[in-house]
């Protein structure tokens, strides 16, 4: 298919899979904030409802796995093809518009991959040692206790905060890049997307780190 | 002789005999340069000295020397065309430098632009992209009335902005990936905006982007260095427009 043989087409696929992941991290963040107790039953109730219908959970996981895999596959391919696009580096480096974030998308991306694997082992498969796994009468793990006991550990809290810095970098370039790749930007709108994209990335960052930081600081207690 | 103050500059210039020679930097001194010299005139002076000394002059591309032909092509201190806004090397003047400056001069560096000699690279890959679709197919005949097809002024202006591209290749030279997206985007947009070009828009964008990849240009990762490098101020909105045209062509 022409879409997948062309570099523009492959970037469009990356942009769409990127958008799916952005939507995911937005919804995931809203879910996480239930730890502060704004729904009755807090994060335990949220986790319970989320996993109420296992076939849907697994279908959604398969869907996200596909999106992430496609995104990574083309991301790596794109980066490899671009190596040597410039025959040799200039003696003087004088970039005018490229940013640290734009130049390191593959590295922030791969770090995010490492984090996603760790995060799944940690809170989804619950095989990372050092957290309290307390089952209730029906055998369901108390999510609140699990999360709070995890983030009381400095290193665990640090890994999560560092991962969110990485996500911020990836998205501060990625969001405006999405609009440009889809061809939805003009000279009037692109500067707006750059600012709004960075702002969204910042809000996601602050929202996510609020959980480990407030636990580590002792504001949220088990 | 005039009573202008003169400058002495150190030039570190890329010298390469041919495509297979590894090439290296050589250092030269440019003497008696005034602020009124253009950058290319400054190189002319250095070359005259080299010729008198019986040495090989520095080979570089140029033609119009008035910023319209797109032949001049040098990376100066890491910036294509020297990094002055909307200025080609030939229009860059020595008043932008000061006495005692050291200036690095390199050729366009991109996989798709093999070096022919010193600062001259082979840019025929850009022609290959144009040959793939950068035209409109029409029957020649009597000259059509200029106003036979009405084009709204904003559309004509937008097409004109894209048509400002002089095909120098600075966008490719400035791109960390050696991509030709700004060049191709400008050409695709210029034609797709106008009624005469619209009919073939889908086939054109497909063919031109295919040629772009086959020529060895890299892929776009939205750094926007191309726009910063462009001596004609071509905006990356034309890359977005090409992406849009490409997406549309998938459904055509
Ligand atoms: C899992 C590992 C990941 C890898 C290896 C990865 C890699 C990449 C790479 C190489 C690019 C292209 C960068 C460029 O054009 O310069 C990219 C773009 C992007 N990524 Fe990721 N990424 C990952 C995860 C994520 C996540 C978790 C999100 C969102 C939450 C995301 C959202 C985006 C977006 C929106 C773009 C911009 C697409 C475009 O240019 O149109 N990525 N990624
Ligand atoms: S020599 Fe023609 S544009 Fe510079």
Q: What is the mean pLDDT of residues B204-224?
A: 97
Q: How confident is the model at residue B156 (pLDDT cuts 50, 70, 90)?
A: very high
Q: Which residues of B touch A181 (CB under 8 A)?
A: 220, 222, 243
CB contact set of B148 (below 8 Å; sequence gap of 6+): none
| Three-class secondary structure of residue B24 per DSSP | strand
Whether residue A91 is contained in a domain is answered as: no
Residue A35 CB burial class (10 angstroms; 0-12, 13-18, ≥19): buried
* Mutation site, B84, B107, B219, B239, interface A, largest A CB count within 10 A: B219
- Distance from B2 to chain A by nearest Cα, in Å? 35
Q: Average model confidence (pLDDT) for chain B?
A: 96
Residue ranges covered by each domain of chain B: 7-116, 123-136+150-249
CATH of B123-136+150-249, one of 3.40.50.20, 2.160.10.10, 1.10.1060.10, 3.50.50.100: 1.10.1060.10
* pLDDT attached to residue B148: 86
Whether residue A170 is contained in a domain is answered as: yes
Q: What is the mean pLDDT of residues A131-147?
A: 92
* A82/B177 touch (CB, cutoff 8 Å), yes or no: yes
Cα of B214 from ligand 1 centre, angstroms: 25
Q: Which residues of B touch A94 (CB under 8 A)?
A: 77-79, 83
Whether residue A127 is contained in a domain is answered as: yes
| Three-class secondary structure of residue A101 per DSSP | helix
Between strands B7-15 and B102-106, the pairing is parallel
* A85/B217 touch (CB, cutoff 8 Å), yes or no: yes
β-sheet bridge partners, residue B104: B12
Q: Which of residues 152-181 of A touch B (CB under 8 A)?
A: 173, 176-177, 179-181
Q: What does the pLDDT look like over A175-191, one tens digit per residue?
A: 999 999 999 999 999 99
Q: What is the mean pLDDT of residues A111-135?
A: 95
* pLDDT attached to residue B139: 79
- Quote the domain boundaries for residue A24: 2-83+98-216
Q: What is the mean pLDDT of residues B175-189?
A: 98
* A186/B240 touch (CB, cutoff 8 Å), yes or no: yes
CATH number at A24 reads 1.20.1300
* pLDDT attached to residue B252: 81
CA B196 to chain centre: 26
Q: What percent of chain B has pLDDT over 90?
A: 92
Whose CA is closest to B201, among B171, B159, B233? B159
Nearest CA in chain A to B228: A96
- Distance from B133 to chain A by nearest Cα, in Å? 16
- A67 in contact with ligand 1, CB cutoff 6 A: no
Q: Which residues of A touch B177 (CB under 8 A)?
A: 82, 85-86
Whole-angstrom distance, CA of residue B144 vs CA of residue A196: 48
* pLDDT attached to residue B3: 58
Whether residue A203 is contained in a domain is answered as: yes
Nearest CA in chain A to B75: A90
Nearest CA in chain B to A6: B210
Q: Which atom of ligand 1 is nearest to A179's Cα?
A: 41
Q: What is the mean pLDDT of residues A123-141?
A: 91
* Residue A118, pLDDT above cutoff 90: yes
* pLDDT attached to residue B147: 84
Classify domain B7-116 by CATH number: 3.10.20.30
Whether residue A43 is contained in a domain is answered as: yes
* Residue A2, pLDDT above cutoff 80: no
Considering its fold, how many domains does chain A have in total?
1
- B87 in contact with ligand 2, CB cutoff 6 A: no
* Residue B181, pLDDT above cutoff 70: yes
Nearest CA in chain B to A3: B250
Whether residue A6 is contained in a domain is answered as: yes
* A91/B239 touch (CB, cutoff 8 Å), yes or no: no
Cα of B43 from ligand 2 centre, angstroms: 14
* Residue A53, pLDDT above cutoff 90: yes
- Cβ contacts below 8 Å, chain A against chain B, sum to 144
* Residue B45, pLDDT above cutoff 60: yes
Q: What is the mean pLDDT of residues B105-131?
A: 98
Are residues A151 and A157 in contact, defined by beta-carbon separation less than 8 angstroms?
Answer: yes
CB atoms within 10 A of CB A45: 15
Instruction: Give per-residue burial for B35-67: e unless 16+ CB within 10 Å, then b.
Output: eebbbbbbbbbbbebeeeeeeeebebbbeebeb
CB contact set of A55 (below 8 Å; sequence gap of 6+): none
* pLDDT attached to residue A1: 53
Q: What percent of chain B has pLDDT over 70?
A: 98
- DSSP class per residue in B90-137: GG-BGGGS-TT-EEEEE---BTTB-EEETTEE--HHHHHHHHHH-S--
Q: What is the mean pLDDT of residues B53-66?
A: 97
Taking the model in full, what pTM does it have? 0.94
* B109/A86 touch (CB, cutoff 8 Å), yes or no: yes
Whether residue A88 is contained in a domain is answered as: no
Its ipTM equals 0.94
Q: What does the pLDDT look like over A144-186, one tens digit per residue?
A: 999 999 999 999 999 999 999 999 999 999 999 999 999 999 9
Q: Average model confidence (pLDDT) for chain A?
A: 95
- A177 in contact with ligand 1, CB cutoff 6 A: yes
- B96 in contact with ligand 2, CB cutoff 6 A: no
* A93/B244 touch (CB, cutoff 8 Å), yes or no: no
Q: What is the mean pLDDT of residues A203-209?
A: 98
* pLDDT attached to residue B2: 54
* A97/B179 touch (CB, cutoff 8 Å), yes or no: no
Q: What is the mean pLDDT of residues B132-138?
A: 93
Whole-angstrom distance, CA of residue B92 vs CA of residue B67: 9
* Mutation site, A6, A16, A76, interface B, largest B CB count within 10 A: A6
* pLDDT attached to residue A41: 92
Q: Does A82 touch chain B (CB under 8 A)?
A: yes
């Amino acid at each position: 298919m022409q879409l997948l043989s062309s570099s523009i087409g492959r970037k469009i696929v990356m942009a769409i899979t990127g958008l799916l992941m952005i939507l995911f991290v937005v919804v995931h963040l809203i879910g996480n904030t239930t730890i502060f107790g704004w729904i009755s039953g807090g994060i335990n109730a949220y986790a319970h409802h989320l996993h109420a219908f296992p076939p849907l959970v697994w279908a959604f996981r398969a869907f996200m796995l596909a999106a992430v895999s496609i995104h990574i596959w083309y991301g790596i391919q794109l980066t490899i093809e671009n190596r040597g696009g410039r025959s040799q580096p200039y003696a003087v480096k004088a970039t005018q518009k490229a940013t640290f974030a734009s130049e390191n998308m593959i590295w922030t991306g791969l770090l995010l991959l490492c984090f996603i694997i760790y995060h799944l082992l940690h809170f989804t498969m619950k095989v990372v040692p050092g957290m309290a796994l307390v089952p209730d009468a029906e055998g369901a793990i108390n999510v609140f206790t699990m999360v709070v006991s995890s983030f009381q550990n400095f290193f665990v809290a640090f890994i999560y905060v560092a991962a969110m810095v990485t996500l911020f970098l990836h998205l501060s370039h990625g969001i405006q890049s999405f609009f440009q790749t889809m061809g939805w930007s003009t000279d009037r709108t692109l500067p707006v997307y750059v600012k709004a994209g960075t702002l969204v990335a910042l809000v996601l960052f602050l929202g996510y780190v609020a959980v480990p930081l407030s636990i580590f600081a002792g504001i949220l207690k088990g | 002789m005039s009573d202008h103050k003169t400058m002495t500059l150190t030039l570190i210039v890329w010298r390469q005999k041919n495509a297979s020679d590894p090439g290296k930097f050589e250092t030269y001194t440019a003497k008696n340069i005034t602020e009124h010299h253009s950058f290319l005139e400054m190189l002319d002076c250095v070359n005259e000295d080299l010729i008198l000394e019986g040495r090989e002059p520095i080979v570089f591309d140029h033609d119009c020397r008035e910023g319209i032909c797109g032949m001049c092509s040098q990376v100066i201190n890491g910036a294509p065309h020297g990094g002055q806004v909307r200025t080609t090397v030939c229009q860059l003047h020595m008043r932008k430098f000061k006495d005692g400056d050291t200036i690095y001069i390199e050729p366009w560096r991109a996989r798709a632009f093999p070096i022919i000699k010193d600062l001259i690279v082979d840019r025929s890959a850009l022609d290959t992209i144009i040959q793939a679709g950068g035209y409109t197919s029409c029957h020649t005949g009597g000259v059509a009335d200029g106003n036979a097809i009405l084009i709204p002024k904003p559309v004509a202006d937008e097409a004109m902005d894209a048509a400002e591209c002089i095909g120098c290749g600075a966008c490719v030279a400035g791109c960390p990936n050696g991509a030709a997206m700004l060049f191709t985007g400008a050409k695709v947009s210029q034609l797709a905006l106008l009624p005469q070009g619209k009919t073939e828009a889908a086939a054109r964008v497909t063919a031109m982007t295919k040629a772009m990849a086959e020529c060895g240009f890299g892929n776009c990762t939205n750094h926007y260095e191309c726009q910063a490098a462009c001596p004609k101020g071509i905006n990356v909105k034309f890359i977005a427009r090409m992406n849009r045209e490409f997406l549309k062509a998938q459904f055509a």
